[in-house]
Structure 1
Amino acid sequence: MDPQAFIRVSVGSLGLRVPIKSLNDTKPTGIHALSPPCVCEIRLPGFPVQTTSVPFVSSPEATPDTNSIASTFYLGESDVKALLTPGCFYTPHACLEIVVFTGHKGTHCGVGVKRQQIGTFKLVVGPEWGHGKPVILFNGWIGIGKSKQENGKPGAELHLRVKLDPDPRYVFQFEDKTKLSPQIVQLQGSIKQPIFSCKFSQERIPQVDPLKSFWSSSVGSSDLEIERRERKGWKVTIHDLSGSAVAAAFITTPFVPSTGCAWVARSNPGTWLIVHPDGCRPESWQPWGKLEAWRERGIRDSICCRFHVLCDSHEHRDDLLMSEILISAEKGGEFYIDTDKQVRAAAHPPPTPPPLPSPRSSGDYAAALNPVSGGFVMSCRVQGEGGRCSKPPFVQLAKRYVTCVEDAAIFMALAAAVDLSIEACRPFRRRLGRSSRRHSW
């Protein structure tokens, strides 16, 4: 498997200060007090604006944490090419731009409140962005805004660290809906290379679609009545090109409506177990991860997917929360494992976990695939309930977490479970009386 070239642009070590300088001394003699909060908008053409807070540095000698990451952009080859093309974004040269503000944005007591712009830092996108090598583009303090003093006050200074790192990825595409047992191909430009096959099965219950409308002639069976009130027995097995099963995901806790409602709620989520073959016991499975999913009701419903890695080593006995993501129930969205992202879709973001273990390490963190903690691990784009055309799962996987085909297979099983969770979390039909069985809920 050959990966595609990606780069990771990280902005971190943020800090803000306004030095007090005497007229005869260029060294700062103190720090002006600023009214918190201070925030910045980090902009890169072609990407959504990212907003993060900027800590205030109260001491002239203090330096912000050099290891902290405030914002991350991931660029493919086409993204870098566009940024390096003059005029592509209606400017001679594309720039990474950081605009710093103080104050809240919004209203206070019914009166509009405007943020005050403190200053701007710009970094021109240069040829080094396309070299695929790690490089620190900027590290240290820099004055932002006007250089001249206004009302006797010097301008603010921003501390930041901008770094480029190569971040190659494998890109996979399910050829059809997961329930149709599709083939999984690796994308390399315009080339599609078959890598896995995906087999969906539905055990212990009739092979029916519980989400379709059915009339009185089809609801007499007690099995169908059970299926209408719970979704269980779903299993996805990932096979390599030789036909050997190399990973699987199956429902361990059924997707059932919670008491008093007709949907899967947070109080009782459905659960998938992600497994891989046990090297010591033929035809046995070894647990690797757990995916929980439920429906969050609101103006626009969302599906929450929460993923844990199951750990059973001497150092770690607890399950480790790796990701908790909200996906639009109607439009779909992206599930990801990325410890660099500070702003998450979930209401309660998980803590930064240690490195992800290899599927073949049986949860032993001493045998983690890579000693570097944090960063992008995987992403999976899935279709929502309102999609009119079929959009099978699209998966990206960091190269550093893959040493063989079997390592990639476990993430394909996870992606399949995320995709099927969108369907498993659809609202259920209410139990109907005989006189009203011709009407759907």
Structure 2
Amino acid sequence: MDPCPFVRILVGNLALKYSIASKASQCFCKIKLKNFPTQYATVPLILQESQTHSSHDRTLAACFTLDKTHIDNYKLVGNGDNPVLQIAVYAGRRGAACGLMNGGKFLGTVEVEVDLRAVETRASNIHKGWVGVGGSNRKGSSAAQLHLSVRAEPDPRFVFQFDGGPECSPQVFQVHRDVRQAVFSCKFGFKNANDRSSLSGPSMSERNTSRSCLMGSHSRKDREIGKQRKGWQITVHDLAGSTVAMASMVTPFVPSQGSDSVSQSNPGAWLILRPGEGAWNPWGRLEAWRECSGTDSVGYRFHLLSDSDATATLASGAIVSKNGGKFSIDMTSSVGTTTPVHTPKSSCDFGSGSFSRSSRPSSRSGSGSGSELGYGPPPPQVHAGFVMSSTVERAGKRGLSQLEVEVGAQHVTCSEDAAVFVALAAAMDLSMDACAFFSKELREELRQ
């Protein structure tokens, strides 16, 4: 099936000309779009006419993602009215409660209409340049001018849904509009601690990176029965029954000394693997732990592994245990994200493309499944812009939960490409239980 239509609205390249003398050394703005949370961004201040907006200030200030439901709602409400961005500009510092600190000043609002019809098939530059802020033409007004760029671009994504929790060995469906089609099945199990055959082979054992990634550094005391959660494994199979991806718990989740939980200094870890030439190739490493703060959260960090023994951190953050949340890899620099990296100029001209690792050729030997999920040729940069996101259930959830995974279509050239993201989503969801307090007994499905 084809990917689902998504549209991203990107706001960036901000700067403010403010001619009236002011004590304000900082400016910020609130960026609003109906039915979306407000986003905030600082704005570089230009106080003198001799100053110009630097070409290097190409950072992204806000990003809004519209799925098909959002797009259809805009087309149905108000006789097809387009979404309108509202950018409220303030001189001064933003307070802790998102308000304005003493001595600050509200300068005005800029509104930009986004024509969704213009981005159905290709990216569109909605606005780029200077615009007057609020009542800047009135006598005694602030005479402020805001520089900004607004760009909208199609961002098709494959959407997958688990038909149950990962520990229940569910089927995984691809979703397109109102159609659900089974594409993968997951198998949850426990690997033998003394059997490393599933993670062995010349391509694995000869590499220093994989050797250090596979094994943890826990002491013998930590290996006592009941003091660790270990050996969990998720295998992802295609419809032919071939294994196309795997998530394997390679570092046990154990409580830190004198504690009842996994600490950040000694996190548990998963290795995400994909099939290669007769062996499993490590693709990524996910670490998780219990945060020490009073937020009752599970912290995480995901590294992308490479053949050159180098690693790149693609995601880091925390998810509240009792509520669950969303795990995402988004290589677009955006306020509020946990993995900000400049987007390449070829994507939205808001960044310098600081993450430019070349894509490796994808192996087809593991399943022979080819490109039934194919969507064009491999991209020149393996992870740029939106990569993936998945829902994460709260710790102690029941097996009827349905995870949803979105994967950027530009990152999927074959079934194995999609399968590794499905395996990663399952590992993150299971990490919520692996990081639960050890004084609480695990659900039966997770006990060996």
Counterpart position of 2:310? 318
Report deviation, 1:64: 4.5
Count of matched residue positions in the alignment of Structure 1 and Structure 2: 385
Contact 2:358 2:382 in 1 (8 A): no
CA distance in 1, matches of 2:356, 2:40: 25
CA distance in 2, matches of 1:241, 1:389: 22
Counterpart position of 1:49? 38
Contact 1:198 1:236 in 2 (8 A): yes
Q: TM-score by structure 1 length? A: 0.79
Counterpart position of 2:407? 397
Counterpart position of 1:17? 17
Q: Of 79, 84, 87, which aligns to 2:70?
A: 79
Q: Of 414, 417, 432, which aligns to 2:427?
A: 417
TM alignment of 1:360-371, pairs within 5 A: 360=362, 369-371=379-381
Counterpart position of 1:285? 280
Instruction: State, as a whole percentage, how many aligned pairs show the same letter.
Output: 38
Report deviation, 1:176: 0.7
Q: Of 163, 166, 191, which aligns to 1:178?
A: 166
CA distance in 2, matches of 1:379, 1:98: 27
CA distance in 2, matches of 1:165, 1:384: 33
Contact 2:332 2:340 in 1 (8 A): no
Relative distance call for 1:373 and 1:177 in structure 2 (3 A) is: closer
SS of equivalent to 2:69: helix
TM alignment of 1:142-161, pairs within 5 A: 142-148=131-137, 150-151=139-140, 155-161=143-149
Relative distance call for 1:285 and 1:119 in structure 2 (3 A) is: same
Relative distance call for 1:240 and 1:93 in structure 2 (3 A) is: closer
Report deviation, 1:426: 0.4
Structure number with greater Rg is 1
Contact 1:356 1:368 in 2 (8 A): no
Partner amino acid, structure 2, of 1:288: W
Counterpart position of 1:270? 268
SS of equivalent to 1:42: strand
Relative distance call for 1:63 and 1:336 in structure 2 (3 A) is: same
Partner amino acid, structure 2, of 1:201: G
Partner amino acid, structure 1, of 2:264: R
Report deviation, 1:340: 1.5
Counterpart position of 2:179? 191
Contact 2:227 2:438 in 1 (8 A): yes
Relative distance call for 1:166 and 1:106 in structure 2 (3 A) is: closer
Counterpart position of 2:303? 308
Counterpart position of 1:204? 192
Contact 1:325 1:344 in 2 (8 A): no
SS of equivalent to 2:167: helix
Q: Of 239, 242, 245, which aligns to 1:244?
A: 242
Q: Deviations over 1:104-156 (max 9, x none)?
A: 34489xx97374211211012435356332110000011112133544x7511
Contact 2:188 2:232 in 1 (8 A): yes
Q: Of 157, 163, 166, which aligns to 1:169?
A: 157
Counterpart position of 1:381? 391
Contact 1:325 1:336 in 2 (8 A): no
Relative distance call for 1:237 and 1:341 in structure 2 (3 A) is: same
Q: Does 1:133 align with 2:131?
A: no
Q: Does 1:297 align with 2:295?
A: no
Counterpart position of 1:331? 323
Unaligned runs of 5+ in 1: 21-31, 206-224, 432-441
Runs of 4 or more above 6 Å deviation: 348-351
Contact 1:358 1:401 in 2 (8 A): no
CA distance in 1, matches of 2:399, 2:247: 25
CA distance in 1, matches of 2:287, 2:382: 27
Q: TM-score by structure 2 length? A: 0.78
CA distance in 2, matches of 1:254, 1:235: 12
Relative distance call for 1:370 and 1:401 in structure 2 (3 A) is: farther
Q: Deviations over 1:225-253 (max 9, x none)?
A: 94421011111111111000111010111
CA distance in 2, matches of 1:92, 1:193: 33
Report deviation, 1:372: 7.8
Q: What root-mean-square deviation, in Å, do the aligned CA atoms of Structure 1 and Structure 2 show?
A: 3.0
CA distance in 1, matches of 2:82, 2:5: 23
SS of equivalent to 2:46: coil
Q: Does 1:98 align with 2:98?
A: no
SS of equivalent to 1:410: helix
Contact 2:46 2:52 in 1 (8 A): no
Partner amino acid, structure 1, of 2:280: W
Report deviation, 1:37: 1.9
Q: Deviations over 1:247-268 (max 9, x none)?
A: 1010111000011101001010
